A and B are shown apart, each in its own frame.
Chain A
Amino acid sequence: MHRPRTTLWSVTHGQRLRYAGAIASLAVAITCLFVPPLVVRSAIDGPLAGGDAGWLGATARRLFATDSVAGTLWTAALLILLLTALAGFFQYVKGRHAALASERAVRRMRDSLFDHLAHVSCDRIVSLETGDLVQRCTSDVDTVRAFLSVQVVEIGRCVLLFVIALPILIGLSPSMTLISVVLVPFVFSFAWIFFRKVQALFREVDEAEGAMTATLQENLTGIRVVRAFARADFESEKFGACNAAYRDTNFRWIRTLGVYWSVSDILVLSQMGLVLFGGAHAVAAGTLTLGTWVAFMTYMTLFIHPVRQLGRVLAEAGRALVALGRIGEIFGLPREDRREKELDAHALESGLTRIHPLPDRVAGRLDFDAVRFAFPAGPDVLDGLTFTIEPGETVALVGAPGSGKSTLVALLLRLYELERGLIRLDGRPLQSLPRAFVRAQIGAVMQEPFLYSKTVAENLRVGRHGADAHELESATRDASLHHTIDGFVHGYETLVGERGVTLSGGQRQRVALARALLKDPAVLVLDDALSAVDTGTESRILEALERRHRRRTTLVIAHRLSTLRHADRIIVLEHGRIAEIGPHAELISGAGLYARLWKIQSELEDDLSTDLALAPNEPWNPQAKATAKETP
């Protein structure tokens, strides 16, 4: 995959002002929180020590016109409450805006990931694991999200703490300030070094959990195979190993965290002890007032914990960068429409517009010219195919598994990018036509059709937006599906997929067919599309297809000779090459695969004829049936 081009900075685009607002609120909140210890200090050093109330006394005089000690103390209490409440309010503002900023940035990232994946070409994605891609879009995005919403703010807090706290502390007592921060670098670096060191262990835990989940998922999706092979013990053993490995690595991780927290606690408590005893010494020596000492102890609790957090946050920021890199790799997958955009840009620059306007509907002539295809670092799947399909012609593709039939369909639909050779639609190279246009002209029913987790009607309307009930029914009738759907309790509003009903293979294929029929394309591709449909239903469907549109180019991949027989011409693929091509009658007289398939079949037919001849019942006229099935 490509080099990442996503950076933390680019991710926050458009949200930086909001972030600045959040950080500013945080600064106000921190400032507010730093005043109450000063209030306490004034109270202790002033009225409580029997001395001058200083600025606290002045505030009490101004606000409440009181000069009494009690009034001063109550003023102090009120100030503490007000300042803390104010700090609380700004902390809330900070939290809300940090959330808004980060969630907006993340929403944009999610949307563009989804959009990007929808536009990556299929030949690039086929070699990647769906699970891995999904994980990048979810867990990795979440890691980045955590960084943006929590960690960025945490770093900001630490910086602000030092900017705001240090001047105050130094103003109070430079020597005590030194004592207060002497262990802080150690607290920070210990956290930082520790969490950098344990990244590997953390990844191990992550991987162990992933392995456990993957094993579980596989077991549950394949549970019927597990039961059919009576492999419960084998599976339990396999899962048991993953489960125990996850438990052990996770426990090891938690124990390591235990070491961190206890050592870190020792450092933090030592630092506080230094302030306690260093301050006591200074107070005893008369170089520090009691109130200032107490203020220092309070300040310690305010900033030692964020410092401890900072080490961890910075160390784990590495994870966000790794996650971002993995996300960037997805964005690095080339979009299939990139070349189109370049073409358009080129056309604009040279002042040219497309000379020939595109028709609404093509005639459906297809030329394949020396078409070759191979997956990266793989052998040729297709090795120089040349043939032509005339408008309205029906061509069937036959071949053993792996001979390249489905790849040919993928190339025609521009799901895979053609490497060498040319495919033309109505004489225009596919590459020069917009993808959306090509796909709008071709209706395809795939081998394992995908249905959306929506209602049957919504799935059908994927073929044509806004199709009315009548149109839906006409398509489902032709696909021999209407009665099946009518039999469902919720009819066309039945939900399909995990949350709804599970359709059988044959039903799914027929929904996909009806969907393609609604689209009413100029070219229809059926990729093994009726394999799970019984023969009676199949012949009804084929008849309906012929009734429907006699002038539609059709490309059929099938294994039943009864289906193949309908084609005007048959192409036999062997190892990515055309072994034979021609009408049925011609091919059966040859010596190739088709003739062999035919021989198998005709042996059956001969037997059948013999059986029929021997059968005593009324005579049967094969001609009548056969002519009814003749293709146009």
Chain B
Amino acid sequence: MNGPTEETFGGHVELALWRKLFRYALRYRRSVILLGAFGVAMAVVEILFPLVTKAVVDSVGEAEEPPPFARFALIYAVLLVAEAGCVFGFIVQAGKLRTYIGHDIRRDAFANLQRLSFSYFDQRPVGWLMSRMTSDCDRLANIFAWGLLDMLWGVTFMTGIFVAMFVLHAKIALILLAVLPPLAWVSARFQHRILAAARTVRKTNSRLTAAYNDGLVGLRTSKVFVREADDLREFQGLSTEMYGATVRSATLSAIYPPILLSVASLATGLALALGGFDVLGGTMTIGTLVSLMTYIAYFFHPVEELALRFAELQMAQASAERIIGLIEAEPEIQDSPEVRERIRAASVDCPRPGVAIDGLPSHIGRIAFESVGFEYVADEPILSDFHLVVEPGETVALVGPTGGGKSTLISLLCRFYEPTSGRITIDGQPLQERSLAWLQSNLGIVLQSPHLFSGTIAENIRYGKLDATQEEIVHAARLAGASTFVEALEHGYDTEVGEGGARLSVGQKQLVSFARAILKAPQILVMDEATSSIDTETERRIQDGLRHVLGGRTSFVIAHRLSTIRAADRILVIEGGRIVEQGRHAELIAARGRYYELYVGQRVQDT
């Protein structure tokens, strides 16, 4: 499993990775250039301010006639406007880069997620993917925007100040330069630790969020088992951990600025003493001394910012790797180059009736499993050497104990997974040679634990056919046996189902997902224990409805209830990845085999 790996700390900066991400920034070349220009311009303006101060102070000191304040004020005003302009400019450009790059990375990652195979999601929890798509994306976009700005601004600013100070007083400038390396080192260490502490806080925070979520989702269970006190104790452990992490992070953040401040004051003191001697010696003006001290106060601002950005860059390495990994992940199952070529060719001469998007017949006839084998984990086969031919329009029921491979069979047919050996064909054509999108848009799938999206019942049914009218939706609901309960609701079809359909019972969700599949009018209908929480009478109504709307379509039914499977054209008893028995209900009963054993137990009549 190469998915949810832990974040690594430190390490070098891997350039190839960043170059890939930098392509996202290059789409906004104009903004990158403008941002750099504003950053440099701002550094220059900020360096000029103390020089104006120096000139004003000196002019007061020496001149007997009224000093030229008006001229200085004008220069000051120009610098002021320039500074304000630069501030506005770089905030806008950095903001643009940050939001647009974040958007683009997220868009690409999302698009790829929609292509990736089920096996990708089997290995990665939703929460893990969510963090990639939100915090990782934001972090990277931030680095590009503010990191770039701070690097340019910081380097220009510090160089400029150094030059200015060197000209004003070489000795103090050199002392300052000597202080810089250890200070930079200390700063980098500190920022690294501060970021690491902040990351611990974030991680603990997401565990805290999960704990609240579990508390709410498992509310009933906790109440029923009178677990409130135990749960609270566990939560208190977590909230204390969070407390420790935040206090640690805040303490680290509180130590660093005083250190920086003290180093700066050391430099200020030196400048005062050393500069003072020169003033007394007449080799330096008071104005120069004042501006020197101002420069020293300025000089240390970028140190903090640069150290922070550098630490961020180091620590974002893991984010960058994961995001690039997500964007570049190749789906295990996708259209082969030949299929894509055919789709391109077919799209030229418009849709023709009877022809699918990949240029082959759109009708699905005979489906065949030819010596199909499958394993999720190596050497633990779920299916092996599986043979099955399903004639068009046939209803096939799959029965047998849990874990026998029934659901796997269906997943393979839907091409959610690829067989590890053998092949599945439609009218002799291997699935691999057909368009994946075409195949999946011709399947109607109803699962035991149906997933509904938040929104109204009507919106959920409409998912089966996006341009369906209200009449079609109501009709589908009626056929699915859902209309009775829906119409009894206060808001009917406009009832909100809540997150994941949480406001409906399992049986109700199964009915809505049935309506959704019926509306899609698929060529193949797949029902995986789709009526397990529905009473037999409602189920009977659904079956009648299905016969009505799907007459002549191929369907696969997994079920445990005799009433559900009995009507199938063929029943397959599947155990240990093999068909141990098959035939019509009556034949299997007569055979006195596994089917007989399974279902005689369900007999309830005392005849």
Contact = CB atoms under 8 A, between A and B. Distances in A.
Asked if A and B bind, the verdict is yes
Interface string B267-285: 0111011001101100000
B257 interface: yes
Nearest to B257: A91
Most buried by A among B100, B454, B464, B560: B560
Given A111-B235, A446-B220, A597 B536 contact: yes
A350 interface: no
Contacts of B250: 95-96, 98-99, 103, 149
B226 to A, nearest CB: 5
Given A73-B277, A77-B269, A118-B219, A95 B251 contact: yes
B211 A247 contact: no
B359 to A, nearest CB: 18
B258 A80 contact: no
Contact of A247 (B100, B210, B268): B100
Given A254-B91, A283-B60, A399-B535, A129 B499 contact: yes
Interface residues of A, number: 188
A533 to B, nearest CB: 7
Nearest to A104: B243
Most buried by B among A95, A270, A443, A609: A95
A246 interface: yes
30 contacts: A47-B280, A80-B269, A92-B254, A92-B255, A107-B243, A111-B239, A117-B212, A118-B219, A219-B113, A228-B414, A236-B110, A250-B99, A251-B100, A273-B76, A400-B485, A401-B485, A446-B220, A446-B224, A447-B533, A536-B598, A538-B560, A564-B604, A597-B535, A605-B604, A609-B605, A609-B607, A611-B589, A615-B589, A622-B607, A625-B601
Contacts of B67: 280, 284
Given A122-B219, A220-B126, A284-B60, A76 B269 contact: yes
Contact of A415 (B208, B223, B538): B223
A64 interface: no
B402 A103 contact: no
Contacts of B414: 228
A564 B561 CA distance: 13
Contact of A614 (B106, B561, B590): B590
Interface in A435-453: 435-436, 439-440, 442-444, 446-450, 452-453
B175 to A, nearest CB: 12
B328 interface: no
B143 interface: no
B183 to A, nearest CB: 15
B100 A616 contact: no
A164 B181 CA distance: 36
Contacts of B516: 229
A218 B533 CA distance: 24
A91 B604 contact: no
A227 B601 contact: no
Contacts of A410: 220
Contacts, number: 508
Interface string B75-100: 01100110111011101101110111
Contacts of B242: 107, 110
Most buried by B among A80, A379, A515: A80
A370 interface: no
Contacts of A283: 60
Interface stretch (A193-201, A308-316, A499-507, A545-553): A499-507
Contact of A605 (B91, B127, B463, B607): B607
A537 B402 contact: yes
B170 interface: no
A477 interface: no
A283 B59 CA distance: 11
A612 interface: yes
Interface in A536-586: 536-539, 559-562, 564-565, 575
A216 B262 contact: no
A236 B511 contact: no
B490 to A, nearest CB: 6
Interface stretch (B18-26, B129-137, B361-369): B129-137
B347 interface: no
Most buried by B among A213, A217, A261, A539: A217
Given A498-B127, A605-B605, A450 B220 contact: yes
B505 A402 contact: yes
Given A69-B280, A400-B537, A450-B221, 15 more contacts: A85-B258, A119-B228, A127-B503, A232-B437, A254-B91, A266-B80, A276-B53, A277-B72, A297-B290, A448-B506, A462-B221, A505-B529, A559-B534, A601-B605, A615-B589
A319 to B, nearest CB: 19
Contacts of B91: 254-255, 257-258, 261-262
B441 A505 contact: no
Contacts of B214: 452-453
Given A110-B242, A290-B286, A81 B235 contact: no
Contacts of B262: 81, 84-85, 88
A130 interface: yes
A504 B402 contact: yes
Interface string B510-542: 110000100010000000010011111111100
Nearest to B404: A534
A447 B534 CA distance: 12
A528 B247 contact: no
Nearest to B446: A228
B420 interface: no
B205 interface: yes
A270 B80 CA distance: 8
A122 B276 contact: no
Contacts of B211: 114
A300 B149 CA distance: 27
Contacts of A324: none
Contacts of B185: none
Interface string B228-254: 100110011001101100110011011
A137 B503 CA distance: 21
Interface stretch (B114-122, B314-322, B348-356, B426-434): B114-122
B110 A607 contact: no
B73 interface: yes
A534 B506 CA distance: 18
Nearest to B269: A77
A621 to B, nearest CB: 10
Contacts of B601: 535-536, 539, 562, 625
A100 B335 CA distance: 58
Contacts of B106: 243
Nearest to A463: B225
A472 interface: no
Contacts of B604: 561-562, 564-565, 601, 605
Contacts of B66: 284
A266 B84 contact: yes
Interface string B39-72: 0000000000000110011011100001101001
Interface in B576-607: 585-586, 589-590, 592, 597-607
A611 B217 contact: no
Nearest to B93: A258
B95 A280 contact: no
B61 A290 contact: yes
Given A40-B272, A559-B561, A216 B92 contact: no
B223 A265 contact: no
B602 A277 contact: no
A138 B272 contact: no
A442 B223 CA distance: 11
A118 B223 CA distance: 8
Nearest to B205: A138
A400 B211 CA distance: 35
B159 interface: no
Contact of A221 (B115, B400, B500, B605): B500
B235 to A, nearest CB: 5
A273 B80 contact: yes
Contacts of A488: none
